[in-house]
Amino acid sequence: MKVRDEVFKYYFYFMQERMNIFWKRYNGETSRFTEDDILSTYKFTNVYRVLDRVSQYLVKEVIYVNNEPLTEQDILFRIIIFKIFNNIQTWQYLQEKLGVIKVSTFNVSRFSELLSERIKSTPVFNAAYIMNGSHIKYNLLNSKHEKWLSMVEQEMITEKRFEKIIKAASLGEVYDILSECSFIGSFLAYQYAIDLNYSPVINFNENSFVKAGVGAIRGIKKCFVKINKSNYEDCIKYTHDNLQHYQERYGYTDFKSLFSREPTLIDLQNCFCETDKYLRVKLPGLQVDNTRIKQKFSLPKPAINYFFPPKWQINEEVDT
């Protein structure tokens, strides 16, 4: 494979500058976070996926909760239910109406009834992911949320896919199990596998498996001249294996990692997606599919008290 130096350098620039923005916010600075007009105008996710607000809520409020005994299946079930909607307010609404969400109290009709009422005034799905709701098995059901919930009941609980995930031997196998489910394509299967892997139920190396999403593929196509017989996942792995080399080559050696946790394949995959967005403005003549960034940056929301999966062993370094 061969990189396009005049473009690939922006991948490492983005990583460093976006991480600098994170650290300025983390340290309580209130002045302009960056002199880069693109990064200050448009919305870009963090370098580390786990730093985003929804992921932080998932880790703290969905997975690692101490006020209720939860089985391993309960934890996996809670993650999937949360991630289907990927919406903090939807989760809080369901918890308020139903109490602790777990397998033993799951009722598709009751969940659907509540969500059908809520959707009259408030969206229940996060627009960040395009959620398919069409499959011959569930087309007789009325709403998208009922179809998804029915899929969870039938294909994850009744068909024991949660049990299969618990017994899985690799992150790739978790991905394969999820990919068997209706509605869950390759992108969501990988994202959900990473979310499940935040939990204490499974524990696989994030560098053991990666799947490139559509946005990442656009970024890879811009950064690599040709990939020969390699695939897009190989490009992400190549970037991971040569991270320091290219940081030095392009002069971006001031990258400050997340409490000494280096970016993993999921983070680098996301950065290709964000670099694609950045390049739409920086190099508008370099077009691969989309040409416009949709979301503008807004003033920061309340500060997050960061918490990470305890197995990462970095929570003691976090300022509280």
Instruction: Provide the pLDDT confidence category of residue 278 given band limits of 50, 70 and 90.
Output: very high
Residue 140 falls inside a structural domain: yes
Decide which of 199, 232, 262 is a domain's last residue: 199
**Res 190: pLDDT:** 97
Tell me whether residue 68 is exposed, middle or buried, using C-beta atoms within 10 angstroms of its C-beta: 0 to 12, 13 to 18, 19 or more. exposed
Are 89 and 124 in a shared domain?
Answer: yes
Residue 207 falls inside a structural domain: no
Instruction: Provide the pLDDT confidence category of residue 291 given band limits of 50, 70 and 90.
Output: low
Residue 95 falls inside a structural domain: yes
Are 234 and 298 in a shared domain?
Answer: yes
Residue 59 falls inside a structural domain: no
**Res 170: pLDDT:** 98
Q: What is the mean pLDDT of residues 40-45?
A: 93
Residue 206 falls inside a structural domain: no
Q: Are 259 and 318 in contact (CB under 8 A)?
A: yes
More confident residue, 230 or 187: 187
Give residue 105's domain range.
65-199
Are 190 and 219 in a shared domain?
Answer: no
Are 221 and 95 in a shared domain?
Answer: no
Average pLDDT, the chain: 92
Nearest to 7, CA basis, from 251, 296, 223? 223
**Res 114: pLDDT:** 97
Three-class SS state of 212: coil
Nearest to 132, CA basis, from 179, 182, 76? 182
Residue 63 pLDDT more than 80?
A: yes
**Res 303: pLDDT:** 84
Decide which of 199, 226, 242 is a domain's last residue: 199
Residue 299 falls inside a structural domain: yes
Q: Are 219 and 273 in contact (CB under 8 A)?
A: yes
Residue 233 falls inside a structural domain: yes
Are 216 and 253 in a shared domain?
Answer: yes
**Res 68: pLDDT:** 76
Residue 200 pLDDT more than 70?
A: yes
Residue 20 falls inside a structural domain: yes
Are 77 and 189 in a shared domain?
Answer: yes
Q: DSSP secondary structure string, 44-88?
A: ---SSGGGSHHHHHIIIIIIS--SS---HHHHHHHHHHHHHHT-H
Are 227 and 313 in a shared domain?
Answer: yes
Instruction: Provide the pLDDT confidence category of residue 8 given band limits of 50, 70 and 90.
Output: very high
Are 97 and 121 in a shared domain?
Answer: yes
Are 276 and 297 in a shared domain?
Answer: yes
Are 82 and 116 in a shared domain?
Answer: yes
Instruction: Provide the pLDDT confidence category of residue 35 given band limits of 50, 70 and 90.
Output: very high
**Res 30: pLDDT:** 78
pLDDT digit string (tens) for 105-156? Answer: 999 999 999 999 999 999 999 877 666 655 778 877 778 999 999 999 999 9
The number of residues making up the chain comes to: 320
Nearest to 238, CA basis, from 257, 251, 224? 224
CA-to-CA distance for 61 and 171, rounded, in angstroms?
23
Are 192 and 313 in a shared domain?
Answer: no
Domain total of the chain: 2
Decide which of 159, 178, 199 is a domain's last residue: 199
Residue 193 pLDDT more than 80?
A: yes
Least confident of 51-60, 121-130, 202-211: 121-130
Alpha helices in the chain (DSSP H): 5-26, 37-41, 53-57, 72-85, 88-98, 108-118, 144-151, 161-166, 171-179, 186-197, 214-223, 232-241, 243-250, 265-282
Are 190 and 145 in a shared domain?
Answer: yes
**Res 320: pLDDT:** 62
